[in-house]
Amino acid sequence: MMLSPWFNLSSLVLSNGSAPFDKAHGKDLWSYSAENLGHSEIFNEAMANDTRLCVPRIIERCAEAFDGVNTVVDVGGGNGIAMGVLVKACPWIKAINFDFPHVVSVAKTYDGVEHVGGDMFSSIPKADAVFLKWILHAWGDKESIKILRKCREAIPKENGRVIIVDAVIDEFGNNEDRFKDVKLMIDMVMMAQTTTGKERTLKEWDYVIKEAGFSRYTVKSIHAMQSVIMVFP
């Protein structure tokens, strides 16, 4: 199921055809997952395996992201492992794992984590901080701006923040970036498996963040493929 979209890349590139996943399966990845819960479970477990490695690194190398934060909502949090790891390391935080109803209905229970079902394009639960790990790279600029605007509505204007964990592509081809080939590979995965997703350069991140109405942001490397982009109202 995940391999067949790759055989449709040529029609997308040569004739601006349909998105490869859509052409292979007649619907986008998210609709397919909602109708095929077995695949949804495999997909979320794969994301969980990455999260088990990534979140402790974020906490260690970017602890300031959670300074003064009492509530965090993980948008597109899958089975809730990210918030489970976060609350274990920062027990004062009350966490919300927010995803599609069919995803959170089978999520495991974690101390200090509430599972909430919904649609991030409609509304996001209120919190001091919104956590977005490998979410925006699955969407084009138009959709990402809409998601970020919903995030801005969910956080306080005074000290709220959005914590984006995603790749930042070096547009100048920096040979010192030891993850550049992995980032290219993930960019290709987004082309094959999503309808509008892509990895972004810093200039492209700047565009979607500013268009969503945020005033400033910082970018910090965590010595991994992803960086932490902290966005402020």
- Catalytic positions, please? 137
Sort strands 113-117 and 94-99 into parallel, antiparallel or unpaired.
parallel
Q: Please name which of 135, 155, 117 lies closest in space to residue 34, comparing C-alpha atoms.
A: 117
Pairwise CA distance, residues 219 & 8, whole Å: 35
Q: Is 124 in a helix, a strand, or coil?
A: coil
Q: Please name which of 68, 77, 120, 119 lies closest in space to residue 96, comparing C-alpha atoms.
A: 77
Pairwise CA distance, residues 195 & 233, whole Å: 29
